[in-house]
A and B are shown apart, each in its own frame.
Chain A
Amino acid sequence: MNVPTPTDTTALLELRDLCLSFQQRRQLAVDRVSLRITAGRSLGLVGASGSGKSSIARAILRLLEPDSGEILFRGEDMSRMNPRQLKSARQRIQLVFQDPSVSLSPRRTIRQTLLEPLEHFAIGDADYRRGKITRTLQTVGLGKSALERYPHQFSSGQQQRIAIARALVTNPELLIADEAVASLDVSIQAQILQLVQKLQRDFGITFLFISHDLAVIRQIADEVAVLYRGQLLEQSPADRFFSRPAHPYSRILLSYAVGENAPNRNTGQWSLERSRTASANTDKCVFAEFCPDKMAVCGNVEPVLSQLHDESQPVLGPHCVKCHLYDETASDEN
């Protein structure tokens, strides 16, 4: 298995100006998103529901066709791959969904469920497959006795372990977890997070971990990316993000998560209307309406996602913000 070392800084996955819309371009779900996932460094993708997190996950695997933009996996553009190439890429990128009771087939035994990806990608012979399945189950903390049972015979935590095992069985380099712990109890969630930490540590698997829960992201992400109404507002190394979030929206998100701040009437409304039309004018900041630090320029000019420069100490990975507060010409701190 190809285990990237933590010092390997090549981009495992890179999105360039990814756009995705629904309903004949009437609704823009992903709006010119560019981000980089470095091999061995897990990225936490946060944002309110409807901000485009899941659409990005699906677009990466081309389960949804993007309108435009590039999806580079190890430097190769997935949006231009032919079916055969795409299949091989999909073997190396696997997806874990939110609710295992829906994502596992109720009519298949665990053995059948875990065997299918191996057969689909034609990996190994019968002997290898048998061994691989047992080893993978062991990795996620389940015994051989699970093999002949059906999903309904397991608790929700065990079901999610099986869903993770199904994703792991093809030896992926990137695991996309789409709200993989959101439907679980806190105690079960803790067990799954422990498993994720183990996979990062022992197998060097890179995670794109999608969650609306910042505390969960804190546990496992090396970097954090913040989405708002389809746009990427900030990407930052986790330690920096949680000590000094740069974008006003990130600060508000973080203060909610700590529970120290309830939304006031105005800002609270943002979760109440979120769908945008593709023809929406791009001549202002998408967050300007609710931003506590709004300046005159925010309503007239769209900020560009740019690297923060005035770093007092060197940090791992890029720190990009899409906000006029950090324009070169403006003052650097608010």
Chain B
Amino acid sequence: MNTPALKVKNLSVWLASGSGRIPVVDGISFSINAGEATGLVGESGCGKTMTAKAIMGQLPVTGIGVSADAIEVEGRDIYKLKAGQKRAVLGRDIAMIFQQPATALDPVFTLGQQISAVYRRHCGGSRRQARQTMLEALRGVGFSQAEDIAGVYPHQLSGGMRQLAMIAMATVCKPAVIIADEPTTALDNSSRALILQQLRQLQTSRQTAILYISHDLSVVRQTCRDVMVMYCGRIMETADCQSLFSHPRHPYSAGLLACIPQLGKTRPAPIRSIPGQVPAAADLPAGCHFAPRCDRAVAQCRESVPELDASGGRGAACFRPL
């Protein structure tokens, strides 16, 4: 078996508050092989972005605690690296694409300057070499007029184009792993289709591993083979997309699926939603966090925490799976 491109073991994130620790991410483990894409799906506040930021070492030093047994990129544990060594890895071997390219890009530099700077910081080389690589990266994401695009500032581009430029920036050093945090949420359908196509292409042509974070299962279905469903900091179900869509096993996954509006030739039945709300992180119910909103919950669900057994590729953290 090959070494997975990204392997996360027992990652936890918590907020330090006066009364103790508020868990945000609760001991999650997963791995992604080269050339594969895995989706991480859940509602706002479930800990998706915290997971990404913890992996990328982007969480603030104070107020937030992180612990993990290991975070391995191509077999190398980056969690235990010192800050300086870590900086060399982040952005080169593992890169991130953000939801809001408008705020992730620097407004006072041209795209060419920003992307070249990333390349020179991580891979060195001459200015000329950096410029060549930068233009290649821009062409790689579909800009045929790369020279023109390199000379513009972020505000001169539409949202979709900015996100493409963001992907070019993330891929300029040819990282093994890309974390895409809601990369298409702010975009319309045609730009979204374009971005998803670029991400799929990275996967196949460069064997990049992608962790795709989204609240929208239908987008994940178009991009990923495997999917993890997260709720209140825990992974509720992990499965390949096809089985999850046809036979969700965790009641929460089933509820999320029912929320997706369907396109059909006839007007669809009124949409369903999951009753209740996501509990606050400081006030999580005991046992299974989903129990209060679950129509299948029994006494056991409210008392003890169901374990996720993902051996064999799929599993649901549920005492009474569907």
Contacts and interface: CB of A to CB of B under 8 A. Distances in A.
A69 interface: no
A259 B188 contact: no
Interface in A79-138: none
Contacts of A238: 267
Nearest to A155: B277
Given A186-B259, A214-B189, A258-B263, A271 B270 contact: no
Contact of A214 (B158, B263, B273): B263
B272 A190 contact: yes
A271 B197 contact: no
Given A49-B159, A242-B265, A265-B142, A186 B190 contact: no
Interface string B151-189: 000000011110000000000000000000000000111
A65 to B, nearest CB: 25
Contacts of A262: 193-194, 196-197
Contacts of B297: none
Interface in B187-205: 187-194, 196-197
Given A190-B272, A242-B263, A185 B191 contact: no
Nearest to A201: B270
A216 B190 CA distance: 16
If over half of A's interface residues share one DSSP class (helix, strand or loop), that class is named, otherwise mixed; here it is helix
Nearest to A265: B142
Contact of A48 (B188, B222, B255): B188
Q: Which 3 residue pairs spanning A and B have beta carbons closest together? A: A190-B273, A190-B259, A215-B261
5 contacts: A187-B274, A194-B270, A243-B265, A263-B190, A268-B190
A186 B158 contact: no
Interface stretch (B2-10, B55-63, B129-137, B212-220): B212-220
B256 interface: yes
Contacts of B259: 186-187, 189-190
Given A187-B43, A194-B273, A215-B260, A256 B142 contact: no
If over half of B's interface residues share one DSSP class (helix, strand or loop), that class is named, otherwise mixed; here it is loop
Chain A interface size, as a band, is 35 or more
B262 interface: yes
B194 A268 contact: yes
A308 interface: no
Interface residues of B, number: 44
B122 interface: no
Given A48-B189, A49-B158, A212-B188, A259 B222 contact: yes
Interface of A: 47-50, 155-157, 185-191, 193-194, 197, 212-216, 218-219, 238-239, 242-243, 252-254, 256-259, 261-263, 265, 268, 270-272, 274
Most B-side CB within 10 Å, residue of A157, A190, A214: A190
B53 interface: no
A327 B46 CA distance: 53
B264 interface: yes
B126 interface: no
Nearest to A198: B270
Contact of B191 (A49, A155, A243): A49
A259 B278 CA distance: 29
Contacts of B83: none
A49 to B, nearest CB: 5
B271 interface: yes
Most A-side CB within 10 Å, residue of B144, B191, B260: B191
A256 B216 contact: no
A176 to B, nearest CB: 19
Nearest to B200: A262
Most A-side CB within 10 Å, residue of B158, B192, B193: B193
Interface in B227-259: 255-256, 258-259
Contact of A186 (B160, B215, B277): B215
Contacts of A243: 265-266
Contacts of B268: 218-219
Contacts of B189: 48, 212-214, 253, 256-257
A261 to B, nearest CB: 8
B277 A242 contact: no
A59 B317 CA distance: 51
Contacts of A191: 273
Most A-side CB within 10 Å, residue of B44, B144, B274: B44
